[in-house]
Structure 1
Amino acid sequence: MSAWKENGAKRIFQMAAGMAVVAVFMICGFLFANGLPAIHEIGWLNFLFGQVWRPGAEQFGIFPMIVGTGVVTLGALVVGAPVGVLCAVFLVYYCPKQLQAPMKAIVNLMAGIPSVVYGFFGLVVLIPLLRHWTQTSGMSVLAAAILLGIMIVPTIISVSETALHAVPQTVYEGALALGATKDRAVFFTVLPAAGSGIFCAIVLGLGRAVGETMAVMMVAGNQAVLPNGLLGGVRTLTSNIAMEMGYAADLHRQALIGTAVVLFGMILAMNALMAWVKRRIAS
């Protein structure tokens, strides 16, 4: 009976894994079958490096949105990665025990807040502050980067905390035994030892930042032009798809699917680069 249960469980796991693989291939097939012909019709150079997105005139250049996606994502990492890693260090090595449970609950709550709620926070709090300080509309690259940075902090904290806990306690204690202060033991011994796991945390945060749509769409200004600085408006690839797919037709719709193909390729390229860097760090 136990062997029958074991075989049944094995089959269930195999089916679940197979369904996941099939789903990925179906998504890829849909994107490539509908997006690549449109990119070919528009022209690869015109599509990837064109600077005008005007569907009414059948001009589909997504270069400003590629740049916008990259700039906003990089800004989010600059804001969120240091905060997330330092918060994880605080939780593991500096936080009083009576505060650890409430702090972790707050982190988990932040991770579960819907994107649209973050977007409303940006509209009601962040945009008016930036408008007052910069004398601009407030909807800008800076607003999107700050908001995305806040959104990826819980992910980076959770994974970084796990990575820090995975470092053997003997590493920390050995550094103290050799005369290092607590701060030096943490930042010069434990953090480098957890570097691979912390890097994975940053990669996961990067993935959320690249794929985020609603919150960015609410605070970025959504101007399909090259960003002219941190205070200029910007439109990301995901925002472009979400804004126009509802009424797009024919070549316009296919161009939006082509935009999804480019976004998919960007994410694959970033994951490959991050995997290579992770191997270099591990070696």
Structure 2
Amino acid sequence: MFNRYKKEKGIESLLFLSGAVAVVALFLLCIFLFSDGILLFQHISVISFLTDTKWFPTSEPVHFGLLPLLLGSIIVTVGAVIFSVPLGIAAAIYISELADPKIAGILKPITEILAGIPSVVYGFFGLVVLVPTIQKTLGIPTGQTALTGSIMLGIMALPTIISISEDAINSVPRSIKEGSLALGSTRWQTIYKVTIPAALSGISAAVMLGIGRAIGETMTVMMVTGNSAIIPGFPSGLFAPVRTMTATIALEMGEVPQGSDHFHALFAIGSVLFITTFIINIVANYIKRRYRFEL
């Protein structure tokens, strides 16, 4: 009995230690990121950084304008969400509710395998296949556009959205579905009036995770969006090159002098990305609690 108690306390202590290490690591990461990013504002105002429409870090005078990078990230991410969310949820409904069990048993592992493909492979596929296809189809000067980035990010987000949404739909108790059918509802009415609302908490978490992957992706958008730091128009900006915040950090961090204003500006961009993903997580947790299904 005493040995069992010691084993349980040991496991409890190990789990607590693991959680504490994760929290401390996140705290140290925040200090590292914000301590370098905030140094930029000793020479440049926060308002100027957030509202300047130019990103010319090596010109004279320099311009550290976040706005074109922020808008580029937003337009690519919104396009990816519009592309991936309806398609992903529809695929999850088909796999969990409509597909033959043998077909579902094949499709589910395939989607999970797609989630593990490196982003550089997606980027290479987009550069070789999608970029020339969009250029020829739309008759535009270049296929490296925000639209291309949105499609590629949507494809990358699909496995996450499909897998988590499918798990959420499958977790709805069978008795609830059978009760709806017993009351005279059709199969489709049961799906969209009973099953989907009951699984909305998990589906919303899947969507938020998909958005988080889209807004934080680097390699793919760097390869297919053209990396032009200009403010995109709407809707014309979808068919023009843009540059995202993540691509800017990846492209410029390797060559920037350490300790320079340019160096601190890249850390400031990273801080904005951190805050953005933090807000997305807060919204996801709120939606998850708000729409949690209770028996």
Q: 2:35: which partner in 1?
A: 33
Choose between structure 1 and 2: higher helix proportion.
Answer: 1
Alpha-carbon distance in structure 2 between the residues aligned to 1:187 and 1:143: 32
Q: 1:43: which partner in 2?
A: 45
Are 1:80 and 2:84 matched, yes or no? yes
Q: 1:272: which partner in 2?
A: 282
Is there any run of 5+ residues in structure 2 with no aligned partner, and where? none
Amino acid paired to 2:146: V
Q: CA deviation at 1:279?
A: 4.0
Alpha-carbon distance in structure 1 between the residues aligned to 2:223 and 2:103: 34
SS at match of 1:56: coil
1:81–1:202 CA contact under 8 A, matched in 2: yes
Q: CA deviation at 1:176?
A: 1.0
Amino acid paired to 2:28: M
Alpha-carbon distance in structure 2 between the residues aligned to 1:93 and 1:280: 25
Match for residue 236 of structure 1 among 244, 256, 279: 244
Q: 1:275 to 1:3 in 2, by over 3 A?
A: closer
Amino acid paired to 2:43: E
User: Could you list the per-position Cα deviations for residues 214-267 of structure 1 after superposition, in whole angstroms to 9, with x for gaps in the alignment?
Assistant: 001100110011113210111111000000000012111111001101111111
Report the TM-score when normalising by structure 2: 0.92
Q: CA deviation at 1:270?
A: 2.5
Q: 1:6: which partner in 2?
A: 8
Q: CA deviation at 1:134?
A: 1.1
Q: 1:245: which partner in 2?
A: 253
Q: 1:31 to 1:200 in 2, by over 3 A?
A: same
Structure 1 vs Structure 2 CA RMSD = 1.3
1:39–1:258 CA contact under 8 A, matched in 2: no
User: Could you list the per-position Cα deviations for residues 106-127 of structure 1 after superposition, in whole angstroms to 9, with x for gaps in the alignment?
Assistant: 1011001000000011011111
Amino acid paired to 2:27: F
Match for residue 127 of structure 1 among 124, 131, 134: 131
Amino acid paired to 1:190: T
**Percentage of pairs with the same residue:** 41
Alpha-carbon distance in structure 2 between the residues aligned to 1:214 and 1:224: 17
Alpha-carbon distance in structure 1 between the residues aligned to 2:283 and 2:113: 31
Superposed counterparts of 1:197-276, under 5 Å: 197-228=202-233, 229-249=237-257, 250-276=260-286
